[in-house]
Structure 1
Amino acid sequence: MKKFALLSTLLLVGSAFAASPKDTLVIQESADIPTLDPGVTYDTASGAIVENIYETLLTYKGNSLRDLEPLLASKLPTISNGGRTVTFDLRKNVKFHTGNAMTCRDAEYSFERNLVTNSAESGNWFISESLLGTGSNANDDKTITWARIDKAVECNNAGQLVFTLPKPDPAFLAKLAYTGQSIVDSKHAISIGEWKGTEADWKNWVGKDLTGSNLNKQPSGTGAYRLVRRDANATLLQAFDGYWGKKPAIKNVVIQKVPEIAARQQAFLRGDADIIEGGGRSVDEQQIKGKPGVAWLDNLPNTSAFAIFMNQKIQDPALLGSGKLDGKGIPANFFNDVNVRRAFSHAFNYQQYIQDVQQGKGKQRTMLLPDTFPGYDSEVKTYSFDAAKARQYFQRAWGGNVWKNGFTLTANYRAGSVPSQTAMEILKRNIESLNPKFKVNIQQKQWSEMLADSKKGREAVILIGWAPDYADPDNFLYTFYSSNGFYAPRSNFKDASVDKWLEQARATVNTAQRNRLYSLVGNRVYEQAPYINVPAPVAYTFFRNNLQGVSAATFNPMTSFSYTGTLWKDLSKK
């Protein structure tokens, strides 16, 4: 224990040592960690830790994107009442990190807490849609009562967890495998000041932001790792001695925030770090691949989608300059004009991005949907880099005033992300080359700040992506394109036809009909150009070659947010 305490102190202050010990996993990345509360975990940096502290009822089997298996459930559920009743038996002899025994009450509390605190930013909207028939919370939808929430998830006399759905949802079980639906320690949560789990104070917690909650500061899950220490630059976790499953070979996990990619690369190549956030394929193949001590795993499934957002209602005056089309700024609704959006779309050099960032291993998708998912239409048109067309659209924009007067705007990118920086540099260079009156300022911004500001509509142009919560096209297309979707506050895109088709697709289980509707969405979105679709890379990962447990057979982007596609408990070192 003295050795561990000394090691944790050195790591937390950022000091390096000769090599990462055999029982310790060291991860370095540029992003900060917004939260450790599963009820509001909805970003990859947070999820990579939360999924190892907490556990869900179900999880994905092996590397499958569709097959589920029990985790905290003891077996797959019984489904009855025409698909509207789902009953789970829970695993016995499971303990939380506090030592409290997991009971059905903990599961009931976890899901009710998610329904009560639900907000568009929490990731609970999709479970609320399944259990309450709406993605809204009680503040936004007055028909939601405590009685409805209480009835949606209950423990019966046999200690089974019973979900009651207003209508069948074929994606419901997959939604339960999402990290945000993890089971929390209800006794512990209540004892540290979280919701009491009763009707008495539920209204005080409706829609409440849990990012900085007490549970975020003092998490207690059933997972293989427990939190030891956390500060702005590092997070330290330790294997949980009371874990119900196989004891992990990795005893300590340290996640360090290292913004500079060169520093991360040096630490990795020295062996001080086992896994790092890379700089995109071009950087990683040049600086990392083939070097001593490096294992490289390529041609992995890519189930994410990234886009450059063009916010049609910018809420931050600081990004607007003069607030006018006078060459010194932009109006808040600058991107309302479809000609501006089309011009930006033609000003991005997609093939250059594929070559410079993805080393030629990239694909320009027609829609913001993984091309391996149902609903993807390869026949939808795509934008190409075309300076002449970009110039034409800019000349039409805002009655010719954009071209005549020019503009100045500010685009932010995630600090430490080389691919994001490169994308913004490509866009800046090409736009500014069209007209000397065009000015695009790009600047880096901390991940948590960007998330917080963008959800309030306070970003003008940013590059962010989406990793699936569950394997269904709705999880991408509704998210990006619906005016009620998760990203709506960030883009403020609204199209009546798109909204109608997406709602119709949600209301049918007929695959052919859904695919037809999604094709309509894809073609309409091409016309409206709400986003610049960033080419999708062929996925890969790299890690120190003494790290065992990472392979194509175990890599699952649905199960794990981590760079290895594998939970820490399944890793070891030789």
Structure 2
Amino acid sequence: MKKAILTGLLAVSLGSALAVVPNNTHVIMQSADIVSLDPTMIYDTSSGALGENIYETLVKYKGKSVSELEPMLATEWKVSPDGKVYTFTLRKGVKFHSGNEMTCADAEYSLRRNLVVNNSDSGNWFLSEALLGTPSNANDDNNITWAKIAKAVACNNQGQLVLTLPAPDPAMLVKLAFIGQAIVDKKWAISLGEWDGTEKTWKEWVGKDLTDSALSNKPSGTGAYQLVRKDASTYVFKAFDNYWGGKPKIENVILQIVKEQAARLEALKKGDADIVETGPRPVLAQLQGAPGLKVYDGIPNNTATAIFMQENIKDPAVLGSGKLDGNGIPANFFSDVNLRKAFAYSFDYDRYIKEVLQGKGTKRTMLLPDSFFGYDPNVKQYSYDPQLATAFFKKAWGGQVWQNGFVLKASYRAGSVAAQTAMEILKANVEKLNPKFKVELQPKQWSEFLKNAQQGKEPMIIVGWAPDYADPDNFLYTFYSSNGYYYPRSGYKDSIMDSLLEQARKTTDRAKRKALYSQVGNRAYETAPYINVPAGVGFVVYRDNIKGLEENYNIMLSGGYYWKDISK
């Protein structure tokens, strides 16, 4: 995108063409598109970064902490001695963008709506687990009734929100800090044609896809910023005059989706953007020392990234011949553990650390941040070894893979240089082992990429996981359990692994839980369901006239910071 286009957009949005971003405006550029602005469907970091500024949750992480919570829309809460009942006192005088006043009815409606919808594209499974004892919705679990939902989430006579759990869940509060559990405007939602909140109609909304809902297109939250308008590439926000926390210092925020990395970097250097998605660490060489820029480096990495090998591919269109004849692959291609190990030994982890992470990276033993409880550095891990890769390729499918070859279609998010580089490293290493091996790389838009993967249609993808809440179960169950969120994307099912994970999430003994997670890590090494991509050290590059970003940066936020906390 050229500067002329950007200034034109600023002119349309703010009323005047400007050479650089004015002090009352914050311009952000990224490559990923926005999936949804309906909280019940926000389950990717790109959408979450916007949602965090439109909507608010009952509680939030305090400052830079990833474990300590503080009030947001709830002013205080109490937990019963048995850990099953949570009672929240709600903040008074809070207005939605529509002008409606927030009451307990809105909080009740929001969480009930999440339990009702709870489809596979949303993050409501862990709320349902806590409040209903199952990650499923009513279409998949006949034990879920309206009576159970109504009992789990209800307002008492004092106007307090009461959550009643079937069993204690020590992660309940941090689950409520996730943006998907934000409080929406009940009256506004119903006026748009969303669920009316009643028992009479709830079954009609179970599992419904609300990605492009009316609420997504016309959101009304309690957050510091409200959406003015949006199109395919631009989202324009303005500060909410009646925000309960006081009007923010930044008046306007513009998010622009700019696919070309070079265009984003140029805009940042010229001052046409305040902060951009830079891409991987090698980009720093182009930005360090540039006038007007500041680098915030050394940000802890709380994500886990993996290359998925789908064991039950559900799209004949990507299978080619669908056979082990050198012209495609069968749907269960990756169900052979020898093949998965062959690919794991084909990835050059050290090269990725050197080229993509500029030497500032760590190989992880398991798909869990090494700063989290439960991480075991002593678990065995794979390394780049062409000889072992060859040996396992020759074992795979009784020798048919080595003898006949294959054509594999692998995908990555369009615009992600790090993901593209990782897949190119794997492709090159696999193809040079045997001339009959072919790996075809396909960049895809974020929304298409997520949808196809969730439906099990992608043979191989690279994707990460940002925590919903700070607990090892949120990573390890997500990746490795056949009941986990990523199961449809991997098709990985192992009875031993499932048993270990179920035990770990139920025990309250910290030492026993830690030992179980070590066993999870070792089982993951033995079965090789994923290729663990090394984790880098985070950094952000932004214009040096931005104040408050580093002081308020929290790695548990999708966007890293609230717009209301910065100024110029």
Query: TM-score normalised to the size of structure 1?
Result: 0.96
Task: Give the corresponding residue for 1:160.
Answer: 160
Residues 1:18 and 2:19 are matched in the alignment: yes
Q: Distance in 2 between matches of 1:293 and 1:87?
A: 48
The residue that corresponds to 1:337 in the other structure is 336
What's the secondary structure of 1:480's corresponding residue? Answer: helix
State the secondary structure of the residue aligned to 2:356: helix
Q: Measure the CA separation in 2 of the matches of 1:500 and 1:135.
A: 17
Q: Matched residues in 1 for 2:404 and 2:11: separation? A: 56
Q: Give deviations 1:165-204, integer Å, cap 9, x for gaps.
A: 1111100000000000000000000111000001010000
- 2:565 maps to 570
2:144 is matched with which residue?
144
2:220 aligned residue? 220
How many angstroms apart in 1 are the aligned matches of 2:64 and 2:364? 23
SS, match of residue 409 in structure 1: strand
Matched residue, 2:4: none
Is the Cα–Cα contact under 8 Å of residues 307 and 531 in structure 2 kept in the other structure?
yes
Report SS of the residue matched to 1:358: coil
8 A contact 1:12–1:233 mirrored in 2: no
SS of residue paired to 1:89: strand
Match of 2:65 in 1: 64
Q: Is the 8 A contact 1:237 1:254 kept in 2?
A: yes
- Equivalent pair of 1:483/1:495 in contact (CA under 8 Å): yes
Match of 1:3 in 2: none
CA distance in 1, matches of 2:247, 2:354: 43
User: Which position in structure 1 is the counterpart of 2:392?
Assistant: 393
State how far apart, in whole Å, the 2-side matches of 1:327 and 1:194 are: 50
Structure 2 counterpart of 1:513: 512
Match of 2:558 among 552, 561, 570: 561
1:572 aligns to what SS in structure 2?
A: coil
SS at match of 2:166: coil
Aligned residue for 1:98? Answer: 98
More displaced stretch, 40-49 vs 324-333? 324-333
CA distance in 1, matches of 2:165, 2:113: 17
Partner of 2:113: 113
Q: CA deviation at 1:550?
A: 1.6
Q: CA deviation at 1:506?
A: 1.1
Pair 1:312–1:285, CA change in 2 (3 A): same
Matches within 5 A, 1:272-291: 272-282=272-282, 284-291=283-290
On the 8 A contact 2:552/2:565 being kept in 1, the answer is no
Please tell me whether the aligned partners of residues 322 and 328 of structure 1 are also in contact (alpha carbons under 8 angstroms): yes
The aligned counterpart of 2:207 is: 207
Q: Aligned residue for 1:365?
A: 364
Shift of residue 8, structure 1, vs aligned partner: 5.2
Residue identity in the other structure for 2:23? K
Structural mapping, 1:45-444, within 5 Å: 45-75=46-76, 77-282=77-282, 284-444=283-443
For the Cα contact (< 8 Å) 1:28–1:264, is it kept in 2? yes
* Contact 2:373/2:514, CA 8 A, preserved across alignment: yes
SS of structure 2 residue aligned to 1:408: strand
Q: CA deviation at 1:317?
A: 1.6
Q: Work out the percentage of aligned pairs sharing the same amino acid.
A: 61
Aligned mates of 1:468, 1:522 — CA distance in 2:
18
Alpha-carbon deviations, 1:485-508, whole Å to 9, x = none? Answer: 000000000000000010011111
| Gaps in structure 1 of 5+ consecutive residues | 1-5
Report the Cα distance in structure 1 between the residues aligned to 2:162 and 2:376, rounded to whole angstroms.
38
Amino acid paired to 1:567: Y
* CA RMSD of superposed structures (Å): 1.3
Task: Give a deviation string over 1:256-275, Cα, whole Å, max 9, x none.
Answer: 11101011111111000111
Q: Name which of structure 1's ranges 413-422 and 322-331 shifts more when overlaid on structure 2.
A: 322-331
Whether the 8 Å CA contact 2:184–2:221 is kept in 1: the answer is yes
Q: Which residue identity does 2:318 align to in structure 1?
A: L
Q: Does structure 2 retain, via aligned residues, the 8 Å contact 1:11–1:234? A: no
Q: Please state how far the C-alpha of 1:331 moved relative to its aligned partner.
A: 0.7
Q: Structure 2-normalised TM-score?
A: 0.97
In structure 2, give the amino acid aligned to 1:41: I
**1:445 matched residue in structure 2:** 444
Gaps of 5+ in 2: 1-6
**By how many angstroms is 1:443 displaced?**
1.6
State the alpha-carbon separation in 2 of the partners of residues 413 and 133 from structure 1: 35
Displacement of 1:16 after TM fit?
A: 8.3
Distance 1:544 1:377 in 2: 39
